[in-house]
Chain A
Amino acid sequence: MKYITEYRNKNLSKKIADKTNDYLKDYKGKISLMEVCGTHTHSIFHSGIMSLLSDKIEHLSGPGCPVCVTPNEYIDTAIAYSRLPEVIITTFGDMIKVPGSSSSLEKEKANGAKVKIVYSPLESLEIARKNPGKKVVFLGVGFETTAPLVASTILRANEEKLKNFFVLSGHKLIPPAMQSLLESGEIKIDGFICPGHVSAIIGETPYQPIVDKYGIPSVIIGFEPIDLLEGIEMLVRQIVEKDKSKVENQYKRVVRREGNKKALSLMNKVFDIKDSPWRGLGLLPKSGLYIKKAYSEFDAEKKINVKVEKTKTHPQCICGQVLCGTKKPFECTLFSKICTPESPIGPCMVSSEGTCAAYYKFKKQ
């Protein structure tokens, strides 16, 4: 597989890891690197690269799993929609098991709700065309990587004048979340592993103000083992050399400095940026994408009325703190005892890129 397999070379991986470990030979203390993309979390565990690196490097998983940062209210709303007989819910696979306040889409499905898993948001349009008597509600979750796709899907529905396609937008933006983590000052982060595919859309520049303000080295990194190892090498070099912190781009084959302008313009055409609630982080200013008035006929929240149950969360669940990196899954009293991938209490255990699920699966202790 061109441009995939060559980034999984064992000898090169070892070379890069050795070089990184060399930098740290005389380094005192530990270095905490945080990734803010769930796909990075998954790749790091799946490839086992941490076992090649010095144990002076610790890795923290930040709020980069869209399923995990989606607040209960959103899931409860989706569940309420799924209970309406005229609604078909379409969603990415990962959302289906996420527990809301008292149910999940998986359980609603067993009760007869129509919930369909789609690979692409475009499939929702096809389902809407085939079911003119139904209302198709697509659960729009995800960051800057996914939001332009959903924007494009809404624009296509608009062109076709589809009357039965709606989006429940829970899209969020990554840089405000990084900012908020640093502002809280609760955790020590020495370097950011910036998300490669979010950056493919937004480019290098949005990280600059964060680096300028907080002086934390940030490297945009790809997802193959060699990408991650090289990116970590770049981060460690910045940290050890103690020069002025900067934004670097390891993933130049995909991420351009200015990002994907066409995708950004579509995103801005359809969505307004507003304050938005995150699980664990609370309401973050200018961090969420909401459908603009001009396209409100596709906005599920505006067009389909539904009564949503009052939100409640498990009192002992610390997903919020796990998402911020202030606690590790092992520190949760529910972890692997009451909360397992089989019967998850919090969302971090549900998503395959959720921190708790990744710890449970790959690192059980």
Chain B
Amino acid sequence: MCLAIPMKLVKIEGSKGIVELSGVKKEISLDLLKEVEIGDYLIIHAGFAIEKLNEEEAKKTLAVWEEIAEIQKQ
């Protein structure tokens, strides 16, 4: 029971927010998060944001492997 997807926060209205993924928008609850800002990527599960995505870490994962792939190419 863990289907959750990163979606971008585009609007905040009190404890509710509007999130978007490639043109699909949905109102969700922000009750489980402390601080959020517009533009944050949130992990959405069953109508709630359960965590904020750490964009620095996201880039790291891919960068490491892309680097390895690059080195092997050379």
A152 lies within 8 A of B72 (CB):
no
Q: Which residues of A contact B46 (CB under 8 A)?
A: 92, 119-121, 146, 149
Alpha-carbon separation in the docked complex, A263 to B55 (Å): 21
A38 lies within 8 A of B57 (CB):
no
**Residues of chain B at the chain A interface (Cβ within 8 Å):** 1-6, 8, 21-22, 28-29, 31-34, 41, 43, 45-48, 50-51, 53-55, 57-58, 60-62, 65-66, 68-69, 72
Q: Which residues of A contact B31 (CB under 8 A)?
A: 152, 156, 266
Q: Which residue of B lies closest to A39 (CB)?
A: B2
Mark out the residues of chain A between 100 and 126 whose CB falls within 8 Å of any chain B CB in the assembled complex. 119-123
A145 lies within 8 A of B45 (CB):
yes
User: Given A12-B65, A148-B48, 9 other A-B contacts at CB below 8 A?
Assistant: A15-B65, A149-B45, A152-B32, A195-B2, A197-B4, A252-B60, A254-B51, A254-B53, A262-B34
Alpha-carbon separation in the docked complex, A20 to B29 (Å): 40
What's the nearest-Cβ distance from chain A to residue B65, in Å? 5
A120 lies within 8 A of B61 (CB):
no
What total of chain A residues lie within 8 Å of the partner, measured CB to CB?
A: 53
Segment among A2-10, A209-217, A322-330 that sits at the interface with chain B: A2-10
Is A66's CB within 8 Å of the partner chain B? yes
Contact of A254 with B62 at beta-carbon distance under 8 Å, contacts A4-B6, A11-B69, A145-B4 already known: no
Q: Which residues of A contact B5 (CB under 8 A)?
A: 4
Could you say which of A11, A67, A156, A230 contacts B61, with CB atoms under 8 Å apart? Answer: A230
B32 lies within 8 A of A254 (CB):
no
B41 lies within 8 A of A37 (CB):
no
Could you say which of A7, A250, A260 contacts B62, with CB atoms under 8 Å apart? Answer: A7
Is A142's CB within 8 Å of the partner chain B? yes
Could you say which of B1, B43, B51, B68 contacts A15, with CB atoms under 8 Å apart? Answer: B68
Mark out the residues of chain A between 130 and 160 whose CB falls within 8 Å of any chain B CB in the assembled complex. 141-143, 145-146, 148-149, 152, 156
Alpha-carbon separation in the docked complex, A65 to B48 (Å): 20
Q: Which residues of B contact A92 (CB under 8 A)?
A: 1, 46
Alpha-carbon separation in the docked complex, A142 to B4 (Å): 13
Could you say which of A15, A121, A195 contacts B72, with CB atoms under 8 Å apart? Answer: A15
B50 lies within 8 A of A148 (CB):
yes
Contact of A120 with B47 at beta-carbon distance under 8 Å, contacts A1-B22, A266-B31 already known: yes
Q: Which of B3, B28, B60 has the most CB of A within 10 A?
A: B3
Could you say which of A141, A200, A254 contacts B1, with CB atoms under 8 Å apart? Answer: A141
B65 lies within 8 A of A197 (CB):
no
22 pairs across A/B with beta carbons < 8 Å?
Answer: A3-B58, A6-B62, A7-B61, A11-B69, A12-B65, A15-B65, A15-B68, A66-B1, A92-B1, A119-B47, A120-B28, A120-B46, A120-B48, A148-B32, A149-B29, A195-B2, A197-B43, A197-B45, A226-B61, A227-B61, A254-B6, A353-B1
